[in-house]
Structure 1
């Protein structure tokens, strides 16, 4: 059984997924970050594939992506790293990135190699729904990879239903229409948006991402969805101190109590 499916069957709520950029802070940090995140309580890990033009990302992920590329990270290198750690990982790994590098690598080969490396799912936010449905979806399905689509507060009801029909792992509910890493508190409008999703009784579980940065926003996400996705707040900590094990432990300790990190 796919590990994403297992996770949602075994844990009903408060699922925590952490995003990091592969190849940052060092080229070979991937394995140590995955180990540290699992050891400290992450339920799922999103491994970001660095890209030279990450338009949807804020300054934190843009910075870590640029540094990862300078360090020499590539999809081929990432697959090699994931293969090395495959047998140690017991929680779902998801690859998240932009479509262009995946197309350059070859999407059929990408899906095949990802599955062999123990990856459970893929997020490609800029892959058009119609192209997934008519061209590329078969490659993910044949390699037993869950494909996760994103929705925003501006996504129409019909579009949400279409995405729910096509998604095979969970739905990534973007909490705002800004870039990643934007610090905010959940507004009544955003709470209403999440309530609307819950009332639609979608077949896929919903996780909330973008802007989860402290105990308050994490609690709000847990209270209005099956779980939360944190990325920029964790990466900000690694920018300030690249000692992976120590930073990750402190990050989770803060996460359980009060403010995680403050943005500049």
Structure 2
């Protein structure tokens, strides 16, 4: 069974951490993954940088630019990830935009993910209809979960379709803004989260965008199977000792 499915079967309040491959230094990708597992992360999302991000706020955009300036490519990333499963046992997803995947070749991308032990992918701008018609077979052949995103504006009909195509989890964006804004669970957001809960989807959900501390993490977990932290973590590892920075950051979510 895919590691993602195993995780959701045995654990609640899952903490997933996003970070940008090749940041702060090009060689830090696997080092950060190892430090995160050691410090208690349940799942990882490794972003492959792209020059024209759609959903990323300024912090993640800056990390992507720095990574690209240092030479990060998908070929280099997959070369680094050959070392991933020596010390990392938790689920790992790759997250990024569709253009680099198309240039790499979707079938080649899925094959490379499987070879290095990646469990799933989040490609926000991959159209659902194209995934279903052209690429679903490649993902299934290589036991990869393809994670779709839902926003407060997503219609029930589309959510049900996403649920039918999902074999991992569904990513609930807390808002339609870019990453890095603080989560505010007002009446509108609460109604949105409750609407999703009441749909009784077959797949688990994870909430992302605006999760930055224990308080916002706990709020998100009240409405889902867990939460994803990106911007706050990317900020935390910008300078200094990677292992110490990771350990200090993760202590905020314990207890």
Structure 2 length-normalised TM: 0.98
Map of 1:256 onto structure 2: 254
* Matching residue of 1:40: 39
Query: By how many angstroms is 1:88 displaced?
Result: 1.6
Structure 2 Cα separation of the partners of residues 69 and 85 of structure 1: 21
The alpha-carbon deviation at position 124 of structure 1 amounts to 0.4
Q: Does 1:197 align with 2:182?
A: no
Alignment of 1:56-75 (within 5 A): 56-75=55-74
Aligned to 1:77: 76
Judge conservation of contact 1:31–1:82 (CA < 8 Å) in 2.
yes
> How far 1:188 sits from its partner (Å)?
1.8
Change (3 A) 1:206 1:166: same
CA contact (8 A) 2:13 2:221 kept: yes
Residue in structure 2 matched with residue 262 of structure 1 by the alignment: none
Q: Report the more deviating stretch, 179-188 or 166-175.
A: 179-188
Q: Counterparts in 2 of 1:157-236, with a 5 A limit?
A: 157-236=156-235
Structure 1 match to 2:30: 31
Distance between the aligned counterparts of 1:228 and 1:105, measured in 2? 30
SS of the residue corresponding to residue 255 of structure 1 reads coil
Unaligned 5+ segments in structure 1 are 258-264
**1:261: which partner in 2?**
none
CA contact (8 A) 1:25 1:242 kept: no
Query: Which of residues 226, 241, 244 in structure 2 aligns to 1:243?
Result: 241
Cα deviation, residue 187, structure 1 = 1.6
Partner Cα distance (1:138, 1:30) in 2: 29
How big is the shift at 1:31? 1.2
Report the Cα distance in structure 1 between the residues aligned to 2:190 and 2:82, rounded to whole angstroms.
Answer: 40
The answer for the alignment partner of 2:4 in structure 1 is: 4
Q: Which residue of 2 aligns with 1:105?
A: 104
- Comparing 60-69 with 243-252, which one deviates more in the overlay? 243-252
TM-score, length-normalised on structure 1?
0.94
The Cα of 1:215 is off from its aligned counterpart by: 2.1
Counterpart-to-counterpart distance in 2, 1:35 and 1:141: 27
How much has 1:254 moved relative to structure 2? 2.2
CA deviation vs aligned residue, 1:54-81 (integer Å, no higher than 9, x gap): 1211001000000000111111111111
Question: What's 2:147 paired with?
Answer: 148
Q: How many angstroms apart in 1 are the aligned matches of 2:222 and 2:82? A: 36
Report how far residue 253 of structure 1 moved: 1.4
- Give the whole-Å Cα distance in 1 for the aligned partners of 2:65 and 2:134: 30
Unaligned runs of 5+ in 2: none
Q: Would you say the 8 A contact 2:152–2:174 is kept in 1?
A: yes
Residues 164-192 of structure 1, C-alpha deviations (whole Å, 9 max, x = no match): 11111100000000001112322221111
Aligned length: 255
The CA RMSD over aligned residues, in Å, is 1.0
Cα distance change on mapping 1:135 and 1:242 into 2, 3 Å: farther
Regions of 4+ moved over 3 Å: none
